[in-house]
Copies of this chain bind each other. A is one copy, B any other.
C-alpha cells in the first residue's frame, strides 16, 4: 500500500518557518557528572528545525527517531551531536535541541554534616546551522536564600529573608561543568539551601544569612563578577527572582553581557 505523503507536498504560500518540531517530550536520561559518574534523571525535550517555504510540512516522527538513535546517556558534547543529527535527518538548514532536567547534588549541612539531595534545574540549548559549529548554552536555576540589606539596616531586630531562584546562563569555550555553575550561584547569595539542617546547622545558616544580606540586585551582580572572572565564559545572563516574604509579588533582576 502506497500512502500519500502530505508533508512532502509543495507549499505555495511562500512562508518559510523559523522552527517546527516537537515539545514537552519526556525521556529518562543519564547525565554525566564532573566526577565522571552518571546520574539518572528525567528530561523534557524540545526539538525543532527550520522549514523552507516550499515544503508543506516536516516529518515529525524523525525527531523521535533521531532521539532514539542517540540513546539516553548524555553529556553536552553528545547532546550537541543530537542537534547535528536533526540537521541531516530532517534535511534542514538549522536545528535546535533543548533539554531541561533536574540535576541532583548531595549537600552536607554546615555543622552536623548531615546530607541529602538538593535539586537544580538545568537547561541545555544547542543550535546548529549547516556548515557551522553548533552553539551551546547551559542554564542552571539554583534555589538560594536572600536576606534584605534594607530590612536589616532599618530594623532593630530581624530582617526579612526568603527563598529565591537565581538562573545563570552561559556560553563558553572549553569545559565548564554544571557543578561549577551551581557553585558560582550559591556562593553569591545570603546562603545556599540545604536538604537537612539540625539545630546547630539552622543556627549557623540563620546567622550566616543575617551577616551576608543581598538584594536581588546584589545577587545578580555577585554572579556577574564571577562570570567576568572566568575566562572560559564568553557570554552570560543572570536572572534572579525573590519570592518576597513581605509581599505577594516577586522582585527580580537581570543582567547579561557578551565579553
Q: Is A220 an interface residue (CB 8 A)?
A: yes
**B203, A155: Cβ atoms closer than 8 Å:** yes
Q: How far is the CA of A16 from the CA of B58 in the complex (A)?
A: 43
Name which residue of chain B comes closest to A117, CB basis: B27
Q: Is the CB of A196 within 8 A of B65?
A: yes
A14: shortest Cβ distance to chain B, in Å? 9
Residues of B within 8 A of A210 (CB): 155, 157-158
Interface string of A60-76 (1 = CB under 8 A from B): 11001101100000000
Task: Tell me if A206 counts as interface (CB < 8 A to partner B).
Answer: yes
A191:B246 contact, CB within 8 angstroms: yes
Note all chain B residues with C-beta closer than 8 A to A4. 150, 153-154
> Interface residues of A, CB < 8 Å — how many?
107
- Report if A234 contacts B (CB, 8 A): no
Whole-angstrom distance from the CB of A51 to the nearest CB of chain B? Answer: 6
B251 lies within 8 A of A22 (CB)? yes
A127 close to chain B: CB less than 8 A: no
B56 touching A194, Cβ below 8 Å: no
- The B-contacting residues of A in range 130-163, CB under 8 angstroms, are 143, 145, 147-163
- 20 A–B contacts, CB within 8 A, in A order: A3-B200, A6-B150, A6-B153, A15-B221, A19-B253, A20-B217, A21-B251, A23-B249, A24-B250, A57-B215, A57-B218, A64-B196, A154-B199, A158-B210, A160-B202, A162-B163, A163-B243, A163-B248, A197-B246, A202-B246
Complex alpha-carbon distance, A18 and B21, angstroms: 32
